[in-house]
Amino acid sequence: MFAIIGIVVVFGAVVGGYLMEHGNIRVLLQPAELLIIGGAGLGTVLIANPLHILMKIVKGLSGVLSGSPFTRQRYLDSLKMMYELFNKARKEGLLGLENDVEDPSKSPVFSKYPAFVKDHHTRDFVCDTMRMAVTGGVDPFDLDQMMELDMDVHHHESSQPITALSTMADSLPGLGIVAAVLGVVITMGALGGPPEEIGNKVAAALVGTFLGILLCYGLVGPVASNLAKISEDERAYYHVLRVVIVAFIKGMAPIMAVEIGRRAIPGNVRPSFQEVEKACRGGGAAAEPPVAEPPAAEPPAAAAASA
């Protein structure tokens, strides 16, 4: 929403200032210049990137217009889901989660959170990690390293459309110069004609430079920056899930693991302790005592099951 408002403000301010100086808006309407710059810019993206990155760019652009999905409510729902999952593991043992992680859509825990089930990246991140915990014999440190590796790979993939758009933005001023040079070539061919015609052609050539710079710094560049911030929000979200899972595998009680994860949430979307308490347990319940960390020699799966 704010991205749309920002785009309107940018173009509104530029056009409004131009009209205040009694400029002729029709002079700025140069479809040929826009075709040269926009078409060539799009072509550079097609040349430089494979299909899967192009699809990520399209998906990322829709995300920019709708805003970051990692809101306070998203974090609350995720912490509540992990709390319910860990409580089930405490009652039935980690082996009791086998059906949940194998088929999340039919899980009595995960199925209550359709946004989680539809997000295959987050779903696989949680379920694949818990699947390793269910099998047993995996040290919490190794599990943590495994999740970090998964996060690094996913973050690298999410940064590829950002790089592609940034490269396109960097090319737009140069493509604006190309359009301007072509306009000058056309103008030189019209020398000797009426002064009005020559003036219009010179104006059209200058509009090419204007459009290239405006699209670079007023549209494509800021969109790429917005995508980068959403990517960082996503990494922060995965980090919270990672902290919660590792804390539980180490032997902490579900409510303590969730509280540790809450502390890792960025401050602008971090829910309060009371909000998390109410979401997880309905409020009013006494806090669970922390479970002692199991001895190092005891397998993580057995430790969580006995807890």
User: How do residues 228-271 score in pLDDT, each as one tens digit?
Assistant: 999 999 999 999 999 999 999 999 999 999 999 999 999 999 99
pTM for the model:
0.82
The owner of tokens 């405006």 is 214
Number of domains in the chain: 1
10-49 confidence digits (pLDDT tens): 999 999 998 998 888 888 888 888 999 999 999 999 999 9
Report yes or no: 262 and 272 within 8 Å, Cβ to Cβ: no
The rounded distance, in Å, linking the Cα atoms of 282 and 118 is: 26
Q: Residue 293: which domain range?
A: 2-306
What pLDDT was estimated at residue 284? 37
Rg of the chain on CA atoms, in Å: 27
What pLDDT was estimated at residue 157? 92
pLDDT category of residue 300 using cuts at 50, 70 and 90: very low
What pLDDT was estimated at residue 166? 94
DSSP of the chain: -HHHHHHHHHHHHHHHHHHHTT--HHHH--HHHHHHHHHHHHHHHHHHS-HHHHHHHHHHHHHHHH--S--HHHHHHHHHHHHHHHHHHHHH-GGGGHHHHH-GGG-TTGGG-HHHHH-HHHHHHHHHHHHHHHH----HHHHHHHHHHHHHHHHHHHHHHHHHHHHHHHHHHHHHHHHHHHHHHHHHHTTTS-HHHHHHHHHHHHHHHHHHHHHIIIIIHHHHHHHHHHHHHHHHHHHHHHHHHHHHHTT--HHHHHHHHHHTS-GGGPPPHHHHHHHHH-S-PPPPPPPPPPPTTS-HHHHHHH-
What pLDDT was estimated at residue 281? 77
The rounded distance, in Å, linking the Cα atoms of 177 and 210 is: 9
**89 closest CA partner among 74, 103, 109, 105:** 109
The answer, yes or no, to whether residue 290 has pLDDT greater than 70, is no
Alpha carbon distance, N-terminus to C-terminus of the chain: 46
Residue 50 in 3-state DSSP? coil
DSSP of 62-96: HHHHH--S--HHHHHHHHHHHHHHHHHHHHH-GGG
175-186 confidence digits (pLDDT tens): 999 999 998 888
